[in-house]
Each structure stands twice: as C-alpha cells, then as structure tokens.
Amino acid sequence: MRRFGAAENPTFELICVYLNSYNILFERFVFSVHPAYRLSKTFFLCRKDRVIFLNAWGEGMERRKVVIIGSGPAAFTAAIYAARANLEPLVFEGFASGPSGGQLMTTTEVENFPGFPDGIMGPVLMEHFRAQALRFSTKILTEDVVSVDFSRHPFLIQGAQTKIEALSCIVATGATAKRLDIDGAKDGEFWQKGVTACAVCDGAAPIFRGRPLYVIGGGDSAIEEAIFLTKYASRVYIVHRRDQLRASKIMGERALKHPKIEVLWNSTIVKITGDQVVQMVEMKNLVTGQVELREAGGVFFAIGHQPNTAFLQGQLQLNEVGYIVVQAGTTHTSKPGVCAAGDVQDPRYRQAITAAGTGCMAALDVEKWLNEAGHE
C-alpha cells in the first residue's frame, strides 16, 4: 500500500483500496486525539462486528476487547470463556516459538486429565481445546507475538505479521522445561519415549513402573520428583554433578534417608540408548572420568523451567526467576487490564488442569475489568 504525505488528501485512495473489503466507509471522520496516531485526521471503518481505525498514513489496525497470547490449556480455556462472554477474543497461538498446544504437544498419553478414563494423547487433547475455542468464534492467528506495548491503552500487540490493539490482554505463554544437551535426550530421539521433565505428569506411565529411573538435578524440585517416582520405580537415582545437594536441608535429608533413593555424586549422564523406549544410560563420574553403562527405564530432567516472558521486555512484574507475578487469588498482573494464566505465572504446580483453571479465572477477571473500566 502507498503511504500518503501529510499534505495529501487520502480519501479517494482509501475508498479505492478498501471499499471492496469493508461494508461501510465513513469519509473524513475526525478523531480528535489518540496516542496511536501521528495525525488528527483519521478514517473510521466498520466491518460487521469489528472496528478498525485507519490513520492518514493508510495503516489499518484491528481493535479487540481481549487478546490472548499462547496456545496451551490456559490460553484456549481463556478463549472459550471469553468467547462465551461475547468478548470476541483473538488468540496468537504462536508459530516459530513452538507447536501450537504447548508442552502437551510433545507428550504421549495423558492419564490424569479429568474426563478421559482411558487416557488421551496430548496432541489430541489440545486439538479438542482448540476446536472448542473455534466453536465459539474465537479468532486464531498462527504467528508469534514479537512485542507488546502496555504503556499505552489500548495496548499494542505486535505479531510477526499482524498488529492488534487490545483493550485487555491475557498472557498464557507457558514455561519451557530446561534440558541438558545429552545424546539421546533430544526431540526425535528418546524425548517423551522415556525422557521427560515432569514426574507428576508422566511418572505413572506403564513404561516406568518397576524400572530403575534417573532424576537429573540437585535442588528441591529434583528431590520432590525423585520421592514421587519411588511410588512406581524399582529404584530412583538422583544424578548430581556436585558432591552435595543444592536442595534445602530438610529435603536433602528426606532423599538421603529414603530406602528407594540413591544419589550418584559427581556424575552426569552422557548418553541415553534404547529401542523404542529408553533402556540404558551411560553414566560418567566427573572425578575419575570412568563411564559406566547402567540399566534405565527413564530419565527425568529436574533442573527447572524457563518462563516464556522475554517478549514482555520488563513491562510486567516478574519474580526472581522470571515468572509473572499475579495478585493473590486472581490472575491480575502489575498492569491493570493484563492478566496471566497457566505455567507462565505458576512455578509450583505446572499441570494442564491447573493451567486450564487459571485460564478460566483470567477470562472472568478481564471480563469484570472491562465492565468496570467502561469497555462493555
């Protein structure tokens, strides 16, 4: 599209460009002062149920009552509730940042999500979430959000290809499990075929029952995962690079005293092998350099998660490890009109069901905020 100079009258050109695409065009609509535009003369177009503003440079920007960033259980649950409240949500489900559907897209059978007594494959579950959101006319854009501007209102959400104004926003971008670069642990190797990063999610799976399991890490999370896995494993080994745990004293004592847990000090796994699933690990002692081949039924990373918040560029309050801080008992963030749901604000539970619950909360929170702010 051609850009117009400040002295030009773009009315006729705009009609030619847009009349076939939009139902109604109001010429020479003057919008007095708006921070989104550099010029006061603005053209106002309506298309069915949406409003789009065009400034005198000829740039269009769609405005939505709520924009949801993310594509996991939290994001799509928020979309379902927001759509049923007639908030006409728009979802940026991502593209290059990872598969739409979040971490469940890389899992196999999910056995602990209510309503599926026989279990359900993670990708299939997320297809159901997405289809239900679409059923209620949620608009989904398959592109990443590269930046947001919460310093102005309406908020500006900049996608890889699309720019949207939002009266409210729900951030549900999740958190990514940290993994070590171990031969055999990558996608396309044994990831989700015996290698995982969530004992609570996957530990009860048949492939892990009665087998020796390995937990990589040395903090409280690693101890919690190891203790949980003792319910199913023949024995649990905590693999730690140092000669003492980083966990709190009480958690460390629990691990050391547990009859089914053994800590492998100054050790690291250098390779994971198997057939269709994990069968063996190669363990290296970092002091002696000796490599030992050991039987294994599974390997669990417990070295933390990285919240997907980099695109926020410090515009919301985060805790010391990067999770979005929300007001207790709500999903409200430090910025009025912006809510957070799912793992991006949950360093503790990190479950699909809790993510979905906070997605529901976020939709209800933004609905109430929009009403109170007069954006009905």
Domain extent at residue 50: 11-58
Q: pLDDT at residue 116 above 70?
A: yes
Q: pLDDT at residue 201 above 80?
A: yes
Q: Catalytic: which of 149, 198, 220, 360? A: 198
200 and 110 in a common domain: no
136 and 198 in a common domain: no
239 and 201 in a common domain: yes
163 and 183 in a common domain: no
Summarize pLDDT for 26-65 with one digit per residue, the tens. Answer: 433 333 333 333 333 334 444 434 444 444 333 568 999 9
Summarize pLDDT for 126-160 with one digit per residue, the tens. Answer: 999 999 999 999 999 999 999 999 999 999 999 99
152 and 73 in a common domain: yes
Lowest mean pLDDT among 25-39, 102-116, 310-324: 25-39
Q: In the predicted model, what is the mean pLDDT of residues 235-241?
A: 97
Active site residue 201: yes
Domain assignment present for 149: yes
199 and 152 in a common domain: no
- pLDDT of 98 reads 67
**Helix boundaries (H) for the chain:** 11-18, 73-84, 122-135, 199-202, 220-229, 249-257, 352-372
Among the candidates 301, 321, 353, a domain finishes at 301
Q: In the predicted model, what is the mean pLDDT of residues 356-373?
A: 97
Q: In the predicted model, what is the mean pLDDT of residues 195-219?
A: 93
- pLDDT of 60 reads 61
Edge-to-edge strand order for the sheet containing 278-285? 267-274, 278-285, 291-295
Q: Catalytic: which of 201, 339, 343, 365? A: 201
- pLDDT of 47 reads 40
Domain assignment present for 1: no
296 and 242 in a common domain: yes
Domain assignment present for 2: no
* Count of structural domains within the chain: 3
- pLDDT of 16 reads 34
Bridge partners, 340 (sequence order) = 171
- Integer Cα distance of 298 and 279 in angstroms: 8
- pLDDT of 132 reads 97
pLDDT grade for 161, boundaries at 50, 70 and 90: very high
Q: Catalytic: which of 144, 169, 202, 346? A: 202
268 and 217 in a common domain: yes
Are the C-beta atoms of residues 80 and 132 closer than 8 Å to each other? yes
Domain assignment present for 4: no
310 and 169 in a common domain: yes
Q: In the predicted model, what is the mean pLDDT of residues 61-81?
A: 96
312 and 287 in a common domain: no
More confident residue, 349 or 285: 285
Q: pLDDT at residue 99 above 80?
A: no
361 and 331 in a common domain: yes
Q: Give every CB contact of residue 140 below 8 A, 6+ residues apart in sequence.
A: 90, 91, 93, 130, 133, 134
pLDDT grade for 252, boundaries at 50, 70 and 90: very high
Q: pLDDT at residue 219 above 70?
A: yes
